Structure formats: C-alpha cells, structure tokens
Structure 1
Amino acid sequence: MSMGDDGRDLGAFLRARRGRVTPERAGISAGINGGARRRVAGLRREELAQLAGISVDYLVRLEQGRATQPSPEILNALATALGLDTAERAHLTTLATGRTAPPPTAEVSPLVRSVLDALSPALFPAFVTNHRLDVVAWNALGAELMGGLGDPSRRDPNNARFLFLDPAARALHPAWETRAAEAVGQLRVSAARYPGDAALTALIAELSAHSAEFRALWATGEVVMCTAGRKQLRHPATGPLDLDFETLHIPAEPGEMALVVHIFRADPTGPEAKALTRLPLTAPGTSVPTPQLP
C-alpha cells in the first residue's frame, strides 16, 4: 500500500471520486455523447472535464500522474464538480500540493487526563486517539465501553487493528461495516499527510496483509474525518447502546491534528443512561467514583 505520492495517489483519488458520481447527481441528463449507452457507472472523463472547465487532455494527465501541482482554481473546480465534502477537499489539496508534515508527537496533557476522569462519573465515556488510531488515553467508562482499553488480554490498543483483526470488534460494534470504513478513511487521511511515519506505514501493511476487508476498503480511496453523530455499541453488561458522540480535536501546532477526544453521551432520561451505570469500571490505573444518574 503506497503512502508516497508522485502524482499516482492524486490520480487514483480523482478516478475513484469520478466513478462515484452519477451523471444525474452532476446534473447531466443524457451525457455528452447524446444519450449513448453508458459503459461506466460514474462520470466519463469528458463529462468531468466539461463540468470543471478544463481540457480532457489535462484531466487525463492528472489521472495518470503526469500532471503535478494543479492550481487552487483547478482543484476547487474539480472538487465542486465531484461534490467533495470538507474532508475530501482537504485530502485532494494534500495530494495535489505535496504539503506533508512530520508525524505529530503531542502527548496527553495532565489537564486532558483530568477532564477525562471528571467526565466518567457524569456518565460520559471518553477516550483519546492519535492519527494512527492508537488509543492513548481514556476514562473508566470509556475503557470498559470500548472493550477493555488498557488491558492487553482483552483488546489491542489500536482501533484499526482491533476492528479488522479481532472478532470481538464485531460483537462490540453492531454497525461494524460503517466503523471499519470510517477507520480506513481516517488512516488514509493520515497516510497522505504523514508519508514518513514508519509506524503508520507498518500498520497499514499489517492490516493489508491480514485482512481482505481492509484491502477492499483501502482500494475505494474513501477519506473520513471524525465529526459527531450517533453510534451503536453492544456490551455484555448492558446489551445494545445507542449513544450520541462528539469529537474534539487537539492540535500539536496550527493546522496539525495531533489528538482526537471522543466523548459519548446517553440521554439522561433514557434507558442507556441507566445501562451505563452497570458497566464494571476496572480500567487499570483509573480510580473514579461509581457513576450516579443525575
């Protein structure tokens, strides 16, 4: 799995995104060729070039990795024509400009650790990941909710390795396919941003070698950034849980995403909040009061 970019990664990303956009979504009713029977599911090169206002020859050279450093105007036109979201636009810029950075080395501060522990009694499970999806900090609720963080006998501390190489992940995550796709999308963002990260390269190679599902998802070229929403989880002590979540980004320096704090919340008036009080809080090195409902 290549993490470098000599134009090939940019071309692969453009081809994958072009194949994802239907003519109808792009506002093309009959196509450029006068309604001729289509042989591709997505946009033809001619259609994307027309929508972006560039020549077909230039688009071909971009997709083949023979054109480098497209202008910001061309990138914006391509992103608009392809309907890219914020994360995908940022990824496109990274691939096109080659603006990489050394891997961030931010550590979890005592203040962040204090915040995590303070959240646990209030029934807010939380944990922190780095750009490789290593879980580097957690509170007691978060540790137990996510399958035993801090206990190597229960699960791997890397979320991607846990998802793809540990069957227990499928029991924890009823929507496993969605979680797996998110993990791959996040690793792809990091791979483009930090191509010199040997540990990240090794992780991607390991997952590629041992998981056909990882290889298939990686080949899609999808990119994802952590945001907010709802997640379904399942724990032996509680059964199914449907929780809100938010992600807070802690930068190592301006423009660099170093750590991500993941915070979960149950409706205090619903059954999930009461269920969280049944989680056995056994996270090593963590001592917090028994959670109490508000």
Structure 2
Amino acid sequence: MTEAAPMTGPAPAPALLEQRGPHRHPAPPRRQGRLLAGLLRTARPKQWVKNLLVIAAPAAAGELFSRPALAQLPLVFALFTACAAAVYLVNDARDAEADRAHPVKRHRPVAAGQVPVPVAYAVGAALAVLAPVVAARLCSPAVCALLTSYVAMQLAYCVFLKHVLVVDLVVVTTGFLMRAVIGGLALGIPLSRWFLITTGFGALFMVAAKRYSEAVQMAGKAGATRALLTEYTTGYLRFVWQLAAGVAVLGYCLWALEEGGVPHTSVLPWRQLSMVAFILAILRYAVFADRGTAGEPEDVVLRDRALALIGLGWLAMYALAVANW
C-alpha cells in the first residue's frame, strides 16, 4: 500500500505540464503575427498598384522588355513601394488620434492599437533610410536622389504641407509623376514633354477627383480627418479635375498627332486611334468623379469592368503605336 503512492503521485505532473504547456507561450508569437499583419496592412498593399507607374517611361520608349529594364524595374518597384510604405507608417502614426474619430479610418492598425505608434515610427524611419541607400548601391544616383526627394516631400506633406490649400494637390500629384519618371531615370531614357504633360495632368485629374469625392461623401458629417476638405468647395475641386482632364487629353492628342520624325509603317494609325480609347477612359472615370465615388482610385480602376476593357484596348493600341507595327 505504501509503495503505490510514489507511482501514482508524480504521474499527473507531466500530464498537467503537457496540458498547460501550450498555454504558456502562445501570446508572443500570436502578438508578433498580429503586429506583422498590422504593419503589412498599414503599408497599404492594395495601393501598390500605383507603383506600377515605374514602367510607364520604359513602356513609352519601347524599352520595357529590354535586358536592363527586366533587371532594374522590379528593384525600382520594390524600392518605391518601401518608400511609400514608410510614408504610410509615419502618416498613420501621426494621425492615430484623429483617425480614431473617423468612421472608417479608426479601423486602421495604428489607430486601432494593433500596431503601437512607436513601432510604426521606427519601421517607417528604417524603410525611409534603407530604400535610398539600396538605390545608391544597386541603381543610379538619380534614382537615389528621386527616392530621397519623394520621402522628404511626403514627410513634409504629412507634417504641414497637407494643410496648405492647392499645395496639397500639387504634392500628391508630384508623387504620381515621380513614380512615372523614376523608371526612365533608372534606365537613362529621355522623357518626352508630352509624356510629362499627360502623366502630370492625368495624375492631377485623379487626385482632384479623389478630393472631390471625399468632400461630397464627408459633407455634413463629423470626424473628417482631412481638414482642408472644409476649406475647399466642391465647385472648386470639380473645376480642378475638369481642367486637369482637359489638359491631359490635349497633351495626349498632341503626342498622337505628332509623327516625331518616325516613318509611318504601321498597318493602321495606332497612335491616332489610341486617342479614342484614352478619351473614353477619361470620360468613364469622370462618371465616378462626378458621382463622388472616386475616393479610392485603385478601386475604380480595378473594379469597373468597362473601364478595365477600355484600358486594355488603349494599352494594346499604345503598344502597337510605340512598336510602330
């Protein structure tokens, strides 16, 4: 009877340890997983599609599938994405308190507490420094300078430029233009004046349409985090996106009608025909701008089937025009 006690006494201890063991250390990995997921969400993966503009200049020059382009453009895309993510992290860290009062933005990871504010600042600062450093080593000095300028301009926007009328529109538009220019800088491709005019005013069209949609949707509602929406009038923002759309169309048409000294050997005049698709795309996007539903440009571009088909048609004709087929 006395010998049975040592056999039954210690037996439950390992079983209890096995039962309790999994409950001792799940929190740190789970917290780390939530933190990484929150950082990724804060980097706005859905908006990385904007960074595909880095291929715009090489595509316009017919150099998209050259060996240097295939080697450099994925790296440039990744570096620009890192810089944009750095800006998003710092912006959300700065706006955390204001975002908590917004009906939608309060669900952002930093505002919701999933990503601590100091962590967002630290990761954003690291990306802002590392991306230009890598560009200096693996790309050209021009790419490094442009990335540095982009980060500096966007951080200045987060701090005070977003509170300056008109300047805020110019800064956001310039960010899009930088995306379109950097691919040409990486490959040493000269940038056409028509390319710069069309891209710049096309970007201003989308930025002003976004602001207009935000102003329409937030009219009379509390919790707006973009203070300038109360200072812009919807009439003014409508004027800006209409003006920008007109200049973008004009610039594109002038490019299409200019032969540029290249002998015309195409089966069809693809340059001129591409004007039709380009204008249709502008008009289709303007429908959403006029309704006040162009607040998320990437959603409009990716979700509207008609706009997607028009865009594919334009891409095909533009490619044939550049290749002079």
TM range (shorter): under 0.3
**Which has the larger share of helix?**
2
**Which has the larger share of strand?**
1
Q: TM-score, normalised by structure 2?
A: 0.25
Q: Identify the structure with bigger relative contact order (alpha carbons < 8 Å, sequence gap 6+).
A: 1
Q: TM-score, normalised by structure 1?
A: 0.27
